[in-house]
Amino acid sequence: MTKGQVGNTGGGLVHIIWKEFGPNAVNTFLSTSQEVINNWLVLHGMTVGVSDIIARDNTMSLIRSTLDKQLRKVQLIVSNSQIG
């Protein structure tokens, strides 16, 4: 299903349910749909461990050098603007 089929566009499920059955039915539809999605994620979802989100040493080094380079640029701009 796509956003166009489910979303609030004309002809979408939300739009049709709203027109045919009212706002309470849309609320029930969306809540129940979310329960189905949550249950699917419990069965088929994935997990991420701490070790998966820690950057490698070479990545951290690149980040540090990039930040240092940009900080020097900012300091130069600030210094030049203070001088006039």
Q: Region 18-27: what's the mean pLDDT?
A: 94
Does 4 score more than 90 pLDDT? Answer: no
Q: Region 28-42: what's the mean pLDDT?
A: 93
Residues 57 and 28 in one domain: no
At residue 8, the pLDDT reads 62
Q: What is the pLDDT of residues 51-71, one digit of tens each?
A: 888 889 999 999 999 999 999
Total tally of structural domains belonging to the chain: 2
| Residue predicted with more confidence, 46 or 6 | 46
Residues 33 and 54 in one domain: no
At residue 1, the pLDDT reads 73
- The answer to whether residues 14 and 20 touch, using CB atoms and an 8 Å cutoff, is no
pTM of the shown model: 0.49
List the domain range (segments joined by +) for residue 29: 3-44
Residues 7 and 27 in one domain: yes
Residues 67 and 39 in one domain: no
**How wide is the angle at C-alpha 74 spanned by C-alphas 70 and 77, nearest 5°?**
140
